[in-house]
Amino acid sequence: MTDTILSLENIEKSFDGENILKNISLDIGRGEFITLLGSSGCGKTTTIRIIAGLETPDSGKVILNGKDITELAPEKRDVNTVFQNYALFPHMNVEKNIGYGLRLKKMPNNEIKKEVEKALSLVQLEGYEKRNPTQLSGGQRQRVAIARAIVNKPSVLLLDEPLGALDLMLRRQMQMELKKLQKALGITFIYITHDQEEALNMSSRIVVMRDGRIEQIGTPEEIYDTPNTAFVAEFVGGANLYRDGEKIYAIRSEHVRLGAGDYEGIVVENSFTAGLSKVKVRLKDGQEITSSHMGMNINLNPGDEISIGWNKNDMVEVQGEK
Ligand SMILES: Nc1ncnc2c1ncn2[C@@H]1O[C@H](COP(=O)(O)OP(=O)(O)OP(=O)(O)O)[C@@H](O)[C@H]1O
């Protein structure tokens, strides 16, 4: 990476004697869209609270633009945060909410007005200046929260599951919009989600976290195509894990052929979700392998005998337990 904007160096954090973050080190490039991905409780929020200055690490450093900011007060950091629950000021209209940070900075009123208009147009909410938060939908409230953060032009924007409360359709739409916005603004985004699809869709790089540690860092393609560990292979895209002697391999279900191959087994399940038929086969040695196919036209039933197979180069050796 040529230009690092933010580094975490050996961050450790405990709560009530329990080690929550274990030696987290991470370099983030200027303009990146980096996603922290991991299941509930793995330490994602604690990590960004430390970046925001809302928590102090027990040891380790936070470096922003080459400066150690580990002990710096939150409001002195060139960082803004958008939380899942919008956190708009309920008694202020949209314009007042968005302009809040600029008023604190004592920017003249006519300039604030201009900046607020610009931010509203970026989140496609022109004309909503006078509405109160109660008169907005969830998606619109979230856009206001994002506008309120970007109007301050932070170097780094932290987003903690910002789309978590939205329904699936709106979520997908906002994902695309957020990505566009990030590109247009050139602000570094540090984004939290436990939704692997969201992470794969939006990020320049993904940091997969597990139990307070970083399990793997890579581009979406690297994480998906060459997971390092069994955990990453399963967590991102639900790969099959196949044990061959001492070794464990990840095999994506779309690479598993039905009806032809070296492995004999019995169909245990044929299900249909999100446009994909998923056929689960139990092999003679008891291992279960899923094969996925577009559409619904797979005429197989539990109990059917079948052979399956895959190409050797679609097997990725991974570390860890099956
Ligand atoms: N202030 C605190 N006091 C005590 N324990 C805390 C505190 N903040 C977080 N924890 C604990 O630290 C662990 C990690 O929490 P964190 O919120 O960072 O996880 P997360 O990955 O963001 O999870 P989620 O996806 O559910 O938000 C959890 O077990 C949580 O209970």
DSSP one-letter string for 167-212: -HHHHHHHHHHHHHHHHHH--EEEEEES-HHHHHHH-SEEEEEETT
CATH 3.40.50.300 fits 4-225, yes or no: yes
- Atom 16 in ligand 1: residue holding the nearest Cα: 43
Task: Tell how far the Cα of 40 is from the centroid of ligand 1, in angstroms.
Answer: 8
Express the helix, strand and coil content of the chain in percent, nearest 5 each: 30, 35, 35
Give every residue of the chain whose pLDDT is below 50, as ranges.
none
pLDDT of 168 reads 82
Rounded distance from Cα 57 to ligand 1 centre (Å): 14
Beta carbons of 21 and 43 less than 8 angstroms apart: yes
243 CA to middle of ligand 1, Å?
A: 34
Of ligand 1's listed atoms, the one at least distance from the Cα of 16 is 4
- Give the residue carrying structure tokens 């968005």: 98
Distance 12 CA to ligand 1 centre (A): 14
DSSP H or E stretch at residue 27: strand 18-29
Nearest C-alpha to atom 26 of ligand 1 is from which residue?
Answer: 40
Which among 164, 212, 191, 152 is positioned nearest to 51, based on CA atoms? 191
- What residues does each domain of the chain span? 4-225, 242-318
Tell me which residue has its CA closest to atom 24 in ligand 1: 40
Half-sphere exposure of 26 (CA within 13 A, CB side): 31
Out of 20, 40, 194, give the residue to mutate to test ligand 1, the one with the largest number of ligand atoms within 8 Å of its CB: 20
pLDDT of residue 112: 95
| Prediction pTM value | 0.89
CATH architecture of structural domain 242-318: Beta Barrel (2.40)
CA of 45 to the centre of ligand 1 (A): 7
Structural contact between residues 51 and 44, judged by C-beta atoms closer than 8 angstroms: no
SS3 15: strand
CA 279 – ligand 1 centroid, Å: 37
Contacts of 279 (CB under 8 A, 6+ apart): 258, 267, 269, 270, 290, 291, 292, 293, 298, 300
Same topology for domains 4-225 and 242-318, yes or no? no
Alpha carbon of residue 10 to chain centroid: 22
What's the pLDDT at 2? 65
Q: How far apart are CA 122 and CA 32, in angstroms?
A: 19
**Structure tokens belonging to residue 245:** 């002697």
Ligand 1: residues with CB < 6 A are 15-16, 20, 38, 40-46, 194
CA distance 262 to 304: 17
β-pair partners for 242: 249
For the chain, give the longest Cα–Cα distance.
75
- Please state, in angstroms and rounded to a whole number, the distance separating the CA atoms of residues 43 and 14: 11
d(CA 81, CA 64): 15
Q: Which positions ≥6 away from 110 have C-beta within 8 Å? A: none
